[in-house]
Structure 1
Amino acid sequence: MRVNSAGIAEDVSSDVTLRVYRPNARPIRPCRRDLSTLEGDMSSASTVTSTPATSTAGRFHLPGLDGLRAIAVILVIVYHAAPALAPGGFIGVDMFFVISGFLITTLLLREHAGTGRIRLGRFWLRRARRLLPALVLVVGTATALAPLIHGDLLVGLRTQVLGAATFAYNWVALATGNGYFDTTTPELLRNLWSLSVEEQFYLIWPILLLALLLIRRPWLRVGLLAAGTLAGMGWMWILTAAGANITRIYYGTDSHSFGLLIGATLAAALVAQARQPVRVLERLERPSWQRDLVGIIALSCIAVAVWGLRESGHATFRWGLPVVSILAVVLVWSAISGGIWSRVLDMAPLRYIGARSYGLYLWHWPLLVLLIAAFPDQAPTGAPSPLLALVAIALTMVLAVLSYRFVENPIRKLGFLPYLRALHARIWRFPQPRIVLASLVTVAALAAGVGVSGLVFAPTQGSAQQLIEEGAQSLKTGYPGPIAPKPTLDPEGLADGSEISAIGDSVMLAAAPALQEAFPGIAVDAAVSRNMNAGLDLIQEQAAAGLLRPVVVVGLGTNATISSAQLDRLAGIVGPSRHLVLVNAYAPRPWIAGVNQSLGDYVAGHPRVGLSDWASAIDPQAGELLASDRIHPGSRGGALYAATLHTTLENLAKSDGPPEAPSYRRHEPAHA
């Protein structure tokens, strides 16, 4: 800040020059923050340097937004660390999108109003100084630690780092088939998808905004932005209705950028109604209890969404996320009014967390993945135990605070090269600077060496994928063909493999070698990601073609819920002349408990239907017998899968006796 010869106070700390007439002006001390802190990523502060006519101070605080960032990042962290507490906590990302779109657009519009132009180079440089330091630190640390903890963490890590480096993580993940809601793949840098969406927006949006500013009528610009927002929401709805993959819908910049656009629309609307657009961040009207009430209602509705929306529900993508974005923009509008509600959101703890939300967001997910891989017994269902979650949150807070204090903030203020020079100067103040410098260089070199070697020698497949492919390979010997149901029953007997049709998902596929060993001649038809709906169609086709055998084993609970109507349809297809065995599920997925409850209730009401209790059998030994995803069995796990089925068939044969049931011949499995 300086005072020129005309007595005008000028802020020269950023691209935007704000001039406010100050009669008899005296020199003003430089403020600690400049306008670049306004930029709208997850870590942006809401305090900006300004000298509005109504204030003699050189600092103007935009209230409430740090509090909203804090709420958003807390939702995301709780969703990942303790999903039962916030099953819809992923909507925190959409809140970030709205806040970012609002703040970035406000910054650009203020600059244009004050200078008549937008300096794109300066804007993108500030973006780089804001985002890259913490990003490089997190990616480098995670990449260095992954090889020391578990080889599965390295699978696909090269493409993840490529996506992080190019800010195209969302599209790289889609190209490689990785999904945000897929809990079976320990994808170390998965949370960077949202940062990529924001950065793609930041790259394109200033150019589009310059074109939009050619339109002289401000409210026409607002209308066009609102139309673009509605088009984005409609595109998400269309993709969902068309049955597109939910990860494609969630990751796509085209289908998930409407939150950024609706924030931009609010900024444009505030500029349109302001008499002096350059003062758009000042209170445009007096605080009112009505505005506070609207904000409280909007936050209450978001709380309902946190409990009501589910990651796999089509309602989430048809209307849930668009509604959350609308509620978030209402929250922003209410928060900046400066009323009682703004002061609540502006409390010191929330401001502290909000200012560091970028680092918190970056660190929490890699730390969770690393800790779960290091201590699998602390995550028996995929979600971390309360103790592990608390450890992850504590480490996240410590690292985010240190990163903000010693890396992010200094580089944002000084720039890259001045920061390195200042760091070098600080090191030389230590009693033994050469030893300190050598130690830092050695640690950095070792970390870089471990990380690079992990990337170079990373396996192409995880342990689960290897087991699945081994199972698929074992089935390539060919389909043995149909065997007609037999009319008599030997209650003491047991079906051999030639009488069994097994239809399942990737769990059964991984267990296929053990099933073939235990039941020679068994017909296994299993596929990755198959659910009950797809399985019913396949069983219907086999029955119509006469390929369905006397005993039908179905294991299709891993990938989706199962209803009683589906089970009734299954029993109708199998018919009274065959035996039906249902295999329950074991996986770190939220619907598994409901699936197993449905299967248990159905079997209890149908004595001629057997239940192979895979979940109870594997649970005590899951850490030893399953792959790192805690879903797919290895060779010993497959043997347990076959032994559990053997016991079920034996018990079913002893308890059954209708005259139309098929005969059973005893066959002891090879592993028994």
Structure 2
Amino acid sequence: MPSPQRVSGLDGLRGLAVALVVVFHVFPNTLPGGFLGVDVFFVLSGYLITGLLAPRLRPRTADEPDPARLVLRRFWLGRVRRLAPELVAVILVVCVAARYAGPGFAAGLRSQVGAALASGTNWLLIVHGQNYFAAFAAAAGHPPVLQHLWSLAVEEQFYLLWPFLLWALLRTPFPALLAAAGSITAFTLMVTDAGSGPADYYGTLTHCGGLLLGAAVALRLPLDRMRTLDPTRDARVLRALGRCGLGGMIVVFVLAACLNGETTRPECGGIALASLAALVVLLAAVCDTDVARMLEWRPIVYLGSRSYGVYLWHWPLIVLIGAPSAAEGLRAAAGRGAVELALPIVLAALSHRFVARPARRFDPRAAWARLTGRTDTSVWSTRAAAGLAVAALLPAILGFAGAPRVDPQQSALESQISAGSAVAAASISNSGTSGAAQGDASGQAPAGASAKPAQPQATGQQNRNSSASAPDGLPADGPPDPVLGQATTAVGDSVLLAGAESVATRLPGIVIDAKVGRQIYEAPDVLEDLAARGLLRHFVVLALGTNGDTTEQTLDRIRQIIGPGRVLVLITVHVPRSWQQTVNTLYVDYAVSHRDSLLIDWNATVSPHPGLLWIDDTHPRPAGAEVYANLLADSLAGVGD
């Protein structure tokens, strides 16, 4: 089956889309909404694929054969031939590079390769709770090296399912209207699921709105029809379309410059608006308009013609080289960023020349005929097809089998978090509803621990009865306090896990429920489960906020779940993300306005001492974990003074 007709304006639109994505990944603070380039791709793919399939899947007359089966087979084989070669090449290179890169680069690589080959990367990320906009939440500070393939997985799932749905829609009176209804439904699901977890962004059902939007318009205004608009006869239509296209391009640029993925605004209408704007630009790009002439600029057309390879290569390079950081100096950061912007273009050009183009020209029938010495190229067997398919996928298979068996716990931070996870699991399994824990079921502190409501003024202060302060002003080590530990339940994320060993040593008997990547919105469900199991103590520590912001309503719900008589302990966050100030301000205000809440200012404590944190500037090193534990213990003990 032939590929969709190549139009220079559409290549320019592809180039614009991939440029937005790559710049966003390299300089996220410069172009915070550049991730919308993926949604531009989705609209474009939905439009072109539907325009390609619809004429061939339309209902036939009684005397015409129905070629649907042949059409689908050719379509899927064409998609495999288009997408697989460069993907296999990237996977192979990543697997080889993983043998020489640090352990963080190769963490979880085997499962990522398997998911990529099965077109399921987006669902793997959902299962692992990987937040697209908080990649630093990964244990080692390294995001998954194949994380960017989530969008390719969504498209491949669309390629698999959409032909069947399109065949059915074309046998209804209003196929375009039904496709548009599907798009609206998908965008609505994204809005209703906003902030509920990674599935609201990575999910196939929530993120197929742009694909279906492009498909709906292709059923009414296919490419062939748009290309027939004549500059003389349809001058007014083209002029209006050009102005709308220019407005759509401005909307895309404004959203890319202003929309922040660290909020729920993209899911709550931002992505839908960008998709609509991209659709208008697309329609203008295929006609004789000013927008089309802008997008036919040769550099952007060249970039668009290599956009697939650029997208595949750019993210592994960023993970391998490391994102530019202001801490390394402006010149060094700019140099690193320039390399990460230019190198994917070079690699994409090479892979296009030596991988993609030969794969498209490869004729398996002719190859089989030459291999067997036959002159009749029509001779073709299932066995030969299977053999050549295995040969084509052999590099990826070998890469997958030879991928380093790197356990995510091999790096120092990962080992620290792994040990903390074991401590947290043991703290729950060893805690029953008898003894001190049973006495805490009503929120009363056990003997020796004061039930006096916490005062915000005691925030972050060291216990005045403990040993003297450390020379640098940090909380000093103190003796284990099992009574206080048995009065405390802590719910948190990977930061708490990194300090769990030290916390459990200082507060024996504490209950710790923490998970890497946990968001604050998960806390109510976690606390309800702990309450049902009788594991809520007098002090309920909320060590969350590293992975996203929250609202006062969420804290009110948490306060309601833990009930009266208990102290809600809020620990401020130290994380180099935009929501740090939002979370910390909310915690401070909440502690001041609620007498049964206590604020522990971890951010103020650790900020003057960056050496206590790992390179991600978020998780405490072992020495920082001791400071974290001492700060927590001293602050809780200070409540009773």
Q: TM-score, normalised by structure 2?
A: 0.72
Could you say what secondary structure the match of 1:503 adopts? strand
1:300 equivalent in alignment to 2:250: yes
User: What does residue 504 of structure 2 align with?
Assistant: 516
Q: Deviations over 1:238-267 (max 9, x none)?
A: 465267844323333333223222222222
Distance 2:618 2:463 in 1: 34
1:405 equivalent in alignment to 2:353: yes
Q: Deviations over 1:136-194 (max 9, x none)?
A: 11111112112321223333322221222222333344455545445123211111122
Pair 1:378–1:144, CA change in 2 (3 A): farther
1:165 equivalent in alignment to 2:117: yes
Distance 1:400 1:79 in 2: 18
CA contact (8 A) 2:110 2:403 kept: no
CA contact (8 A) 2:43 2:213 kept: yes
User: What does residue 484 of structure 2 align with?
Assistant: 499
Could you say what secondary structure the match of 2:184 adopts? helix
Distance 1:279 1:536 in 2: 54
Could you say what secondary structure the match of 2:403 adopts? helix
CA contact (8 A) 1:232 1:255 kept: no
Of 167, 178, 182, the residue aligned with 1:231 is: 182
User: What does residue 333 of structure 1 align with?
Assistant: 283
| Structure 2 counterparts to residues 203-352 of structure 1, below 5 A | 203-210=160-167, 212-213=169-170, 220=173, 223-238=174-189, 240-241=191-192, 245-271=196-222, 281-283=227-229, 285-286=234-235, 288-311=238-261, 313-352=263-302
User: What does residue 108 of structure 1 align with?
Assistant: 53
CA contact (8 A) 1:75 1:89 kept: yes
Could you say what secondary structure the match of 1:187 adopts? coil
Distance 1:487 1:596 in 2: 24
1:356 equivalent in alignment to 2:306: yes
CA contact (8 A) 2:241 2:284 kept: yes
Of 52, 75, 84, the residue aligned with 1:132 is: 84
Distance 1:593 1:261 in 2: 38
Pair 1:619–1:535, CA change in 2 (3 A): farther
CA contact (8 A) 2:424 2:513 kept: no
CA contact (8 A) 1:600 1:611 kept: no
CA contact (8 A) 1:505 1:526 kept: yes
User: What does residue 36 of structure 1 align with?
Assistant: 3
Structure 1: runs of 5+ lacking an equivalent: 1-14, 16-34, 39-45, 47-61, 272-276, 423-444, 654-660, 664-672
Q: Deviations over 1:380-407 (max 9, x none)?
A: 9xxx955443332222122112222332
Could you say what secondary structure the match of 1:149 adopts? coil
CA contact (8 A) 2:226 2:287 kept: no
Pair 1:93–1:504, CA change in 2 (3 A): same
Distance 1:603 1:175 in 2: 34
Of 386, 389, 403, the residue aligned with 1:454 is: 403
CA contact (8 A) 2:90 2:313 kept: yes
User: What does residue 640 of structure 1 align with?
Assistant: 627
Q: Deviations over 1:627-657 (max 9, x none)?
A: x86644454442232244467679xx5xxxx
CA contact (8 A) 1:88 1:308 kept: yes
Could you say what secondary structure the match of 2:99 adopts? helix
User: What does residue 13 of structure 2 align with?
Assistant: 68
Residue type matched to 1:202 in 2?
Y
Distance 2:338 2:365 in 1: 37
Pair 1:605–1:253, CA change in 2 (3 A): closer
Distance 1:386 1:461 in 2: 32
Distance 2:8 2:33 in 1: 26
User: What does residue 381 of structure 2 align with?
Assistant: none
Pair 1:468–1:235, CA change in 2 (3 A): farther
Deviation for aligned residue 1:415: 4.9
Of 539, 546, 564, the residue aligned with 1:558 is: 546
Residue type matched to 2:345 in 1?
M
Q: Aligned pair count? A: 556
Pair 1:206–1:368, CA change in 2 (3 A): same
Deviation for aligned residue 1:548: 4.9
Deviation for aligned residue 1:532: 4.9
Pair 1:106–1:584, CA change in 2 (3 A): same
User: What does residue 24 of structure 1 align with?
Assistant: none
1:396 equivalent in alignment to 2:344: yes
Residue type matched to 2:450 in 1?
P
CA contact (8 A) 2:503 2:629 kept: yes
What percentage of residue pairs aligned between the two structures are identical?
Answer: 33
Structure 2: runs of 5+ lacking an equivalent: 59-63, 371-393, 438-444, 467-477
User: What does residue 387 of structure 2 align with?
Assistant: none
Distance 1:612 1:76 in 2: 36
- Higher Cα Rg, which structure: 1
Distance 2:225 2:568 in 1: 72
Q: TM-score, normalised by structure 1?
A: 0.69
Pair 1:536–1:206, CA change in 2 (3 A): closer
Distance 1:378 1:405 in 2: 36
Residue type matched to 1:68 in 2?
L
